[in-house]
């Protein structure tokens, strides 16, 4: 009897693992309500950031570095479909080899770099003044492929990230 029960549970476990293994391991979330955390290495952060960019009409981005071509293309595509996009980034990182900030600027997207702080080390974006992604995740290919980083999606309660972005935007325009 014990062997039969053990075999049953082993079969059940195997079927569950097979079923889970065939499911999409990186589903694109349909919305960002509630907290969702993702980790690298892996494509979860980039996949969910790109999905959020594709859905949003207004996007404010404050990131240290942008070298990820798929994220860059999503930003430019969003701009071309009429989304209102502004980007704040680090001045030294924007000049680095591999930076795609020039491509973003050439597409007509407003980009400001830090003038008052030593480093612009924020890593967040606000989508439609509500949805936020933040964390250690740099918008780079290396972050997805090699680094141990994270991104968290959530809805801001008191527009803290919107206020911070506005502060940085105003500060770096001076």
Domains detected in the chain: 31-173 (3.30.870.10)
With cut-offs at 50, 70 and 90, classify the pLDDT of residue 25.
Answer: very low
Q: List phi, psi (to 5°) of 166.
A: -60, -40
pLDDT tens column, 43-66: 999 999 999 999 999 999 999 999
Average pLDDT over residues 2-20: 38
pLDDT at 12 over 90: no
pTM for this structure?
0.81
pLDDT at 11: 39
Q: Kindly list the catalytic residues.
A: 121, 123, 128
pLDDT tens per residue across span 109-154: 999 999 899 999 999 999 999 999 999 999 999 999 999 999 999 9
Cβ-based neighbours of 76, under 8 Å, separated by 6 or more: 103, 104, 107, 109
Q: Which of these ranges, 32-36, 56-60, 72-76, has the smallest mean pLDDT? A: 32-36
What would you measure as the largest C-alpha separation in the chain, in angstroms? 79
The confidence band for 24, taking pLDDT boundaries of 50, 70 and 90, is very low
Average pLDDT over residues 19-48: 67
Cα 129 to Cα 115, 124, 150, distances in angstroms: 25, 12, 22
Whether residue 62 contacts residue 165, with contact meaning beta carbons closer than 8 Å, is answered with yes
| Model pLDDT, residue 106 | 98
pLDDT, residue 9, reads 35
């Amino acid at each position: 009897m014990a062997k039969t029960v053990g075999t049953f549970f082993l079969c059940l476990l195997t079927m569950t693992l097979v079923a889970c293994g065939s499911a999409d391991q990186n589903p694109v979330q349909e919305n960002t309500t509630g907290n969702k955390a993702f980790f690298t290495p892996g494509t979860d952060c980039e996949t969910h950031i790109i999905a959020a960019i594709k859905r949003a009409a207004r996007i404010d981005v404050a990131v240290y570095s942008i070298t990820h071509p798929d994220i860059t293309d999503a930003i430019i595509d969003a701009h071309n479909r009429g989304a209102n996009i502004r980007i704040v980034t680090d001045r030294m990182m924007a000049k680095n080899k591999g930076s795609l900030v020039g491509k973003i600027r050439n597409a007509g997207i407003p980009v400001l770099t830090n003038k008052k702080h030593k480093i612009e080390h924020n890593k967040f974006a606000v989508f439609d003044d509500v949805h936020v992604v933040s964390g250690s995740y740099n918008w780079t290919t290396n972050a997805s492929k090699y680094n141990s980083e994270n991104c968290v999606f959530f809805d801001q309660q008191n527009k803290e990230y919107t206020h911070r972005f506005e502060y940085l935007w105003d500060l770096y325009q001076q």
